[in-house]
Amino acid sequence: MCPKPAAPAPPPPPPKDEGPNRSWPYYEVFLRVKEALLALPVHFTSRTIIEGLHATDLHTLNGPIGAVIEDQVVETLNAIRRVWDPKDEHPTLAFRRQPQTFPDVLLVKEVPERSREIVLGIELKGWFLLAKEAEPNFRMTTSEFACADPDLLAVVPWALTNVLSGTPKVYRPFIVGTKHAARHRNYYWQHSRSTKDSTEIRCAEGVKPYPNKADKIADIPESDSGGNFGRIARTGLMSAYCVEMLEERLPGIAARLWREFLKKHGGQHD
C-alpha cells in the first residue's frame, strides 16, 4: 500500500507585540509617549489653512498636507512634554524629525560634549480619511532587525475641519511596535494570504536599529507582481481600527459617507 502523503505542517502562531523589557530604564517614558500619541487629537494645532478648494481636488492634499502634519505632530509632542515627562525627570530629551530615514522621528537625549543617545523612534504616517481607499496605503518594508524593541509605528488620521476647507484636524492614531508590524507583515505574506506565487522573502542582512539613510534595510519578496508587499493595512493588522475611524463624524457625517459621495462624483484618486 502506498504511504499517505504527509499533511502540510501547520503555520507557526502569529507574532505578538512584545515591546521593550520592563526593566529598561526608559520603560515609563515609553508608556507615556504612547499616551502622548493618543492625546494628539486634543493638543494638535496647525498653522495650515486651506480655502477655495474644489471637492474634486481634495486628493491633491494627501501628499503635501500629510508631510506638514508629520512635522506638526513632532512639534506637538515636544509641546506636551508634561504628558510624557510629567515630573521633568528627563529635561535633555526631545523629539527630532529625520525625513527620508527610518524611523521618521527620534526621541533623543542630547548632552553637550557627548554624542546623542537615541531613546526610541517613531515611524510616523499620515492617513487622509477621505482618500479613495478605505485604509492607509503606505508601505513599510523595513526589516524587523532595523527596529528597536521600543520603536513605534504611529498612523495619524486627518481631515480638514470643514471637510473641503479649514485647518487639518487629527484623530486617534493607530499605534503598534514597528518590530511587530514588520513581523506581522512577513507572517501575513508567508502564511495568511491566499496565493499560488512564491511566499519566500529575502530578509535584509547586517542591519541594526537606527540605520543610516543609505543602509539597505528592506525585506524583499521573491514574487510581488502587484507591488503590495509592505502594505500594512492589507495584512489585517489595522482592519478593526480602519472601520472604526471611518465612522468618525466630519461635521456631523461619517467619513465613510463623505468618501462614498466623493467617489460617486469622480473626485477621488490616490
In a domain, 156, yes or no: yes
Q: Which residue do the cell numbers 488620521 mark?
A: 157
Apex 167 CA angle, 62 and 55, nearest 5: 55
Q: Tell me, what amino acid is at 162?
A: N
Burial of 222 (0-12, 13-18, 19+ CB in 10 A): exposed
Q: Which residue do the cell numbers 502622548 mark?
A: 36
What is the predicted pLDDT for the residue at 57? 79
Other Cβ atoms closer than 10 A to 167: 15
Going by their DSSP bridges, the two strands 117-128 and 152-160 should be labelled as parallel
Comparing C-alpha atoms, which of 138, 144, 106, 107 is closest to residue 125?
Answer: 138
In a domain, 11, yes or no: no
The answer for residues whose C-beta is within 8 angstroms of residue 53's C-beta and 6 or more apart is 61, 164, 165
In a domain, 17, yes or no: no
* Residue 126, helix vs strand vs coil: strand
Structurally, the chain folds into a number of domains equal to: 1
In a domain, 1, yes or no: no
Range of the domain at 75: 27-264
In a domain, 3, yes or no: no
In a domain, 6, yes or no: no
Phi, psi (5° rounding) for residue 76? Answer: -65, -40
Q: How far, CA to CA in Å, does 195 sit from each of 1, 12, 181, 184?
A: 33, 18, 21, 17
**For residue 83, what is the enclosing H or E element?**
helix 81-84
In a domain, 22, yes or no: no
pLDDT one digit per residue (tens) for the chain, 270 residues:
566 655 567 788 889 999 999 999 999 999 999 999 999 999 998 888 888 888 877 877 877 887 888 889 999 999 999 999 999 999 999 999 998 899 999 999 987 766 789 999 999 999 999 988 889 999 999 999 999 999 999 999 999 999 989 999 999 999 999 999 999 999 999 999 988 899 999 999 999 999 999 999 999 999 998 899 999 999 999 999 999 999 999 999 999 999 888 888 765 444
What is the predicted pLDDT for the residue at 262? 85
Other Cβ atoms closer than 10 A to 262: 20
For helices 27-38 and 62-79, angle between their N-to-C axes, nearest 10 degrees: 130
Phi, psi (5° rounding) for residue 202? Answer: -90, 105
What is the predicted pLDDT for the residue at 100? 85
In a domain, 210, yes or no: yes
